């Protein structure tokens, strides 16, 4: 798999991740900053390093499984492995600007005020 093919596949993976939502927050997991790394090897095996918003998150075991199923079923992906980590711990500053705006962080009040 060439570097260009890996880049194209990564873009497609990001698009799929953009269709997966944390059920408690109306923003997709990619914009939320829950995806720390996407690694694709030369054989099209994908490794995703991700987190959840909190260790006691009700979907902490379900969300990585769902990511594995969605990405693993993509054309061009040989296998998908998803690793869950809490280092570094997720915080609202990891969200994209778009997610911050969607959740009201631009108006001085947002999810962070509710979490801490």
CATH of the domain at 14: 3.30.300.130
**pTM of the predicted model, to two decimals?**
0.86
Question: Under DSSP, is residue 114 helix (H, G, I), strand (E, B) or coil?
Answer: helix
Distances (CA, A) of 42 to 4, 7, 51, 65: 11, 12, 25, 23
C-alpha–C-alpha distance, residues 36 and 28, integer Å: 14
pLDDT at 116: 42
pLDDT at 107: 55
Walk along the chain (116 residues) in steps of 10 and give the mean pLDDT of each run: 96 97 89 97 98 86 94 97 95 90 68 48
pLDDT at 58: 82
pLDDT at 22: 83
Its domain, for residue 103, covers 3-115
C-alpha–C-alpha distance, residues 81 and 13, integer Å: 13
Domain count, the chain: 1
If residue 37 lies in a helix (H) or strand (E), which one and from where to where?
A: strand 35-40
pLDDT at 4: 97
């Amino acid at each position: 798999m060439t570097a260009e093919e890996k880049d194209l596949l990564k873009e497609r993976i990001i698009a799929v991740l953009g269709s997966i939502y944390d059920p408690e927050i109306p923003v997709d997991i990619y914009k939320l900053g829950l995806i720390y790394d996407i690694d694709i090897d030369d054989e099209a095996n994908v490794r995703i390093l991700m987190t959840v918003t909190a260790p006691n998150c009700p979907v902490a075991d379900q969300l990585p499984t769902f990511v594995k199923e969605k990405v693993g079923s993509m054309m061009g992906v040989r296998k998908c492995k998803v690793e869950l980590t809490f280092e570094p711990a997720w915080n609202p500053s990891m969200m994209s600007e778009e997610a911050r705006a969607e959740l009201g962080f631009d108006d001085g009040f947002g999810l962070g005020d509710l979490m801490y």
